[in-house]
């Protein structure tokens, strides 16, 4: 196989994959999970529920082994969450008990340690020097927050830390927006640095770390939830409205008034809980072309609906547009000859 043929086939595969709603949804979720780590837990739960429901519906009745693979995967994830949860809880309890690492400074080995803490605008990084089990010096390596806090509150706090030689919780300033968060971030950075020199400071095991980083991320905050809601709404609008409008064949389905005039004259009227042909029009609007194709066998092609529809829709018209759209989706290669791939 020549490299240009391989490239052509790969491009075709990508192109055809993007034509599937499930693939688009997966890519969307992946992008959101990368941009908003704290959305990972929600996305993982939604993905498992969605895939589980779909596979149960499709495969359970036929006892397909794929269903049991999925059950095995869910069981693995559930056991993984249980295992990680116990470890995370123990570490959290241990960290709370050792916070602030004040009296426990005796356990910190002498040395220089770097630590990080989340401030008001980003990560604060410090370098802490410990000598004779006392804090000897603190250098600020990275600081994205307000300069006024760096010039006033931080030096004051640092002076007290050096005088005491150990970490303690700072008094929260009441002025300056973001100053409490900055001071807490600075405190956390020093705590993080000291924890690195403490051999028995509680740590996550490797399994919990992977689980936390890949599945859970941080706890979702309000910004993430709002962003998720907006992005999800954009996705839904595109998937369930714009894409059928953009498709030349099915675009007119968006104009249906749901008036039901077509149903009134149709000899079929309703099958499998779908009103014919209005239900076909609505399914086409949602991009569910496969369902339209399944139900198309009930239309006898009498054409009565066409004479009643105020916008010129008809069962046969919608069915043929859905067939055409589905055929384009199933194209086997990026041939540039879409619509002629059946």
Q: How far is the CB of 327 from ligand SF4 (least distance, A)?
A: 20
Residue 224 or 244 having the CB closest to ligand SF4: 244
Q: How far is the CB of 280 from ligand SF4 (least distance, A)?
A: 7
Q: How far is the CB of 301 from ligand SF4 (least distance, A)?
A: 5
Q: What are the tokens at 111?
A: 């040395």
Contact between residue 195 and residue 201 where contact means Cβ atoms under 8 Å apart: yes
Residue 157 makes CB contacts below 8 A (sequence gap 6+) with 170, 183, 186, 187
Q: How far is the CB of 224 from ligand SF4 (least distance, A)?
A: 40
Count of Cβ atoms closer than 10 Å to residue 320 Cβ:
13
Please state the φ and ψ torsions of residue 102, each to the nearest 5 degrees.
-85, -80
Q: Residue holding tokens 């970490």?
A: 167
Residue 130 or 274 having the CB closest to ligand SF4: 274
Q: Residue holding tokens 């599937």?
A: 20
Specify the length of the chain in residues. 342
Q: How far is the CB of 237 from ligand SF4 (least distance, A)?
A: 21
**Contacting residues toward ligand SF4, per CB under 6 A:** 256-262, 265-268, 276-278, 281, 299-305, 308-311, 313-316
CA contacts within 13 A on the Cβ side of 107: 14
Residue 301 or 336 having the CB closest to ligand SF4: 301
Residue 122 or 264 having the CB closest to ligand SF4: 264
CA contacts within 13 A on the Cβ side of 240: 9
Q: Residue holding tokens 């910190």?
A: 108
Residue 167 or 266 having the CB closest to ligand SF4: 266
Give the nearest residue (CB) to ligand SF4: 315
Residue 197 or 277 having the CB closest to ligand SF4: 277
Q: How far is the CB of 287 from ligand SF4 (least distance, A)?
A: 17
């Amino acid at each position: 196989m020549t490299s240009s043929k391989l490239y052509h086939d790969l491009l075709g595969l990508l192109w055809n994959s993007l034509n599937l709603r499930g693939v688009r949804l997966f890519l969307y979720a992946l992008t959101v999970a990368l941009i908003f780590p704290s959305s990972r837990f929600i996305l993982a739960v939604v993905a498992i529920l969605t895939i589980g429901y779909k596979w149960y519906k499709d495969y359970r009745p036929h006892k397909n082994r794929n269903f049991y693979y999925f059950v095995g995967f869910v069981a693995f994830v559930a056991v993984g969450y249980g295992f990680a949860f116990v470890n995370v809880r123990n570490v959290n309890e241990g960290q709370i008990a050792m916070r602030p690492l004040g009296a426990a400074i005796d356990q910190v080995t002498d040395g220089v340690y770097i630590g990080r803490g989340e401030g008001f605008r980003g990560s604060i990084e410090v370098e802490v020097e410990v000598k004779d089990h006392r804090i000897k010096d603190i250098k600020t390596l990275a600081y994205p927050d307000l300069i006024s806090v760096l010039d006033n509150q931080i030096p004051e706090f640092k002076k007290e830390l050096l005088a005491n030689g150990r970490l303690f919780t700072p008094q929260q300033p009441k002025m300056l927006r973001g100053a409490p968060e900055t001071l807490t971030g600075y405190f956390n950075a020093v705590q993080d640095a000291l924890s690195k020199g403490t051999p028995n400071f509680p740590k996550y095991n490797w399994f919990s770390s992977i689980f936390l980083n890949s599945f859970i991320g941080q706890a979702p905050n309000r910004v993430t939830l709002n962003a998720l809601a907006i992005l999800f709404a954009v996705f839904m609008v595109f998937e369930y409205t714009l894409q059928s409008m953009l498709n030349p064949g099915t675009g007119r389905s968006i104009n249906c008034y749901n008036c039901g005039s077509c149903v009134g004259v149709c000899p079929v009227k309703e099958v499998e809980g779908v009103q014919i042909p209005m239900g076909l029009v609505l399914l086409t609007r949602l991009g569910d072309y496969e369902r339209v194709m399944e139900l198309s066998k009930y239309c006898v092609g009498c054409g009565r609906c066409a004479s009643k529809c105020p916008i010129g829709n008809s069962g046969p018209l919608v069915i043929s547009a859905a067939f055409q759209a589905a055929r384009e989706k199933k194209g086997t290669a990026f041939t540039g000859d879409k619509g002629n791939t059946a």
